[in-house]
Structure 1
């Protein structure tokens, strides 16, 4: 099958378009005919990309992109709730090959039926960002109705979902964004939007119940000071995982696959409560260009690779 893959531990400039063996589903897994996949430039820096859970080097070739949409081609033993040809979306295991290929495998528990209101492109860029927002807000922060929530990076791939989910949940949402995105983030449901180029957020917000951070670095460190007593902070910024500060490491969260949560997100999307934003679409053969665009940053939503027409 055609796939985008790496043959050595390196960056996106070394990715290859070529042929590799098609995977087959094991017990509890589904084989997916991939229609589209969302790309994550930070994946080149993640531990699971090049290592096994035990810390040993993974075998090459390594296929990236672990969120996808497509149709079920075959089912492994013991899978229930899905049938061949079902349109689905979901996540692969981080420690296995991803979805920049004509076919991929995924645990059935990491899948959900594709939202009826979304095409395959928009569905493909949803799982990681939407689940990150869901788990950060509702599992880690335990967000409650009426709480004052500060979201850093409200216009980004994760931030757009975080703002919308928090608004739907009844929180008072304060978000940071660039001047070009102030109106956009307001339209997502933010009650207040701070232009981070013009106003240090700590000068205008205080007594915050919870902070959801996707920026990291100095922004994260300054955020501790705006929390009220007993307030909570979660960060999904990649650099926070290896921080020397124990408080920062404890606040870091890595998303996990969860088909049941995806099914709840599907309900919100099809009900019009959540909008999905695609910043650009590239064919599989132009994966390098897609990563170039994604690494430029300042995107509303995520870059997608179209695998099947």
Structure 2
């Protein structure tokens, strides 16, 4: 389908990913970045059912295709879903990648159940905040770690039952017995996270493959995956967004012509939490 883009979110590390610059080993530059989008259907391709021109949509462009930092983007129908009219396109675009990642981790990879204990490392980040909210919505007991006391109340407001301050480089010794442990920080997984999982618990890594030797030492299962979009997940996320059981934080908004500045802002260490977005429709700025 051809989508008229309203908002496109930025994930700064995408400029370091091999699939951004090549497809099956073939260079595909120049490229268009920003794969998280919200907009309206402009045209429907042959064989596509369930969508019509004018429908509000959101989704995730496959990473080996051109993204949504443009007025229009061509997207496989399988990578987008309907967006409720009550869901602002900026919130939908900001939510889609971190929320899809969190949903796949907790519902498709481990099937988190009510009452289970979930530990989220990095609860203040984009993915960590979604893990916290989706874990809370699943009636799990959610413990989230943050690196600064400044983030405690904000993460608690997202649904964390317990928030623990763990400064970078430190190893907490009192986090034990979790059914599911998820690393949302994005660096190498520290030993203490393997120890935090209960015997036969599961550790999920979103950036780097887990260490098999450490997993065996602590008796935990491991999961590592690259997120993908599908209609079912997007429908679940739209329902959560529409019913205000899930939200995304927007750090700053830029018009499309300031795209370079937007990417530089998104990649700045220590900036405020939330997604940096490109607003393609000038009347929304």
What is the TM-score of this pair, normalised by structure 1? 0.83
Preserved contact between residue 209 and residue 232 of structure 1 (Cα < 8 Å):
yes
Change (3 A) 1:205 1:93: same
Secondary structure (helix, strand or coil) at the match of 1:37 reads strand
2:229 equivalent in structure 1 = 257
Q: Look up the match of 1:281.
A: 253
What secondary structure is seen at the aligned counterpart in 2 of 1:71? Answer: strand
Matched, 1:305 2:278: yes
Q: Superposition RMSD on alpha carbons, in Å?
A: 2.1
In structure 2, the CA distance between the partners of 1:109 and 1:162, relative to structure 1 (3 Å rule), is: same
Match of 1:77 in 2: 46
Is 1:143 the counterpart of 2:112? The answer is yes
Q: Alpha-carbon deviation of 1:201?
A: 5.8
Cα distance in 1, alignment partners of residues 90 and 168 from structure 2: 35
The change in CA–CA distance for 1:260 and 1:145 in structure 2 (over 3 A counts) is: same
Is 1:46 the counterpart of 2:11 in the alignment?
Answer: no
Gaps of 5+ in 1: 1-29
What's the CA shift for 1:138? 1.2
Q: CA offsets, 1:151-204, max 9 Å, x none?
A: 011111111111011001011100011211100000001011011229946322
2:35 corresponds to: 66
TM-score, normalised relative to structure 2? 0.90
Q: CA distance change for structure 1 residues 93 and 254 in 2, over 3 Å: closer, same or farther?
A: same
Unaligned residue ranges in structure 2 (runs of 5+): 216-221
Alignment of 1:110-189 (within 5 A): 110-177=79-146, 178-189=148-159
Q: Offset at 1:220? A: 3.9
Q: Does 1:269 align with 2:241?
A: yes
CA shift at 1:66, angstroms? 0.8
Single out whichever of 119-128 and 99-108 deviates more from structure 2.
119-128
Q: Which region of structure 1 is more displaced relative to structure 2, 245-254 or 225-234?
A: 245-254
How many residues are paired up? 274
